[in-house]
Amino acid sequence: MNLLLLNPDDFVSSSVAIIRDVRRCEHIQQIQQAQIGDQLKIGALNGLMGKGKITHIEKSDSGLHIELECELTQTSPAALPLTLVMALPRPKMFRRVLQTLSSLGIKSVYFIHSYRVEKSYWQSPFLNADDVHHQLILGLEQSCDTQLPEVHFKNRFKPFVEDELPEIIKNKTALVAHPYTETPCPMSFNQPLVLAIGPEGGFISYEIDLLKQQGFEAVHLGERILRVETALPFLVGRLFG
């Protein structure tokens, strides 16, 4: 945790916050080993960042409470001009992908169905709103960001691509990562982009053709076939590095 994120209900006034949950309290005391008078790097969720001075630590039957005097004056890092469209990953990988996209500064993501996405993936408890929120928070804490990404789930490929995607890619460049094309992925991109990433094994030909009909260009990453959790940071680094 490189940034202590504060939720709206943590604030008891505009400049005072009280941390009550076990995870953050234990991190402050056991990992950071902070004491009264120490300053922590903090940020208000979807707000500003700054410093928080520990003014009070209380242990009681209800648990540990840590009070902070907050000074929030800094803006969070700029978001990437990127909208991500990604085939829903395997459940265990899904959590890692959420943390990765959140830490990279991606603020809009659509998880979609694909021929190679098993239908059982959509029943995973990891898609629960609270669990998704938690993984995104972990990514923000890691990268020192406060702006929470928007995550959408679309479990029907064709209706999403034909009915919703045209508006999403309007006035943007649209690329789809595909290992079986001759066009290499561009580098050092500096304009709004929609990037589609398929499942393990990639999108099937029918899906690639449908995406191309909507204005996507297929690009490759080289000779190696990468796992989704590897392809995502590789693509972002190449496009916006």
With 0-12 CB in 10 A as exposed, 13-18 as middle and 19+ as buried, what is 19? buried
Q: What are phi and psi of 113, to 5 degrees?
A: -85, 160
**Within this chain, domains 4-74 and 82-240 share the same CATH topology:** no
Q: List, for residues 149-182, the tens digit of each pLDDT value.
A: 999 999 999 999 999 999 999 999 999 999 888 8
Q: Quote the pLDDT of residue 225.
A: 81
Q: Which helix (H) or strand (E) covers residue 50, if one does?
A: strand 49-60
Q: Quick one: pLDDT band at residue 90, thresholds 50, 70, 90?
A: very high
pLDDT bucket at 59, cuts 50 / 70 / 90: confident
For residue 63, what pLDDT is reported?
A: 82
Pair of tokens at residue 3: 């940034």
Predicted confidence at residue 235, as pLDDT, reads 94
CATH placement of domain 82-240 = 3.40.1280.10
Superfamily of domain 4-74: Hypothetical PUA domain-like; domain 1 (2.40.240.20)
How far apart CA 51 and CA 95 sit, in angstroms, is 29
pTM given for the model: 0.94
Which of 111, 108, 188, 196 is closest to 148 using CA atoms? 108
Confidence of residue 58 (pLDDT cuts 50, 70, 90): very high
Cβ neighbours of residue 218 under 8 Å, at least 6 residues apart? 175, 176, 177, 178, 181, 183, 208, 211, 212
- Cα(104)–Cα(232) distance, rounded to whole angstroms? 10
Q: What is the mean pLDDT of residues 95-104?
A: 97
pLDDT at 179: 86
Domain map of the chain by residue range? 4-74, 82-240
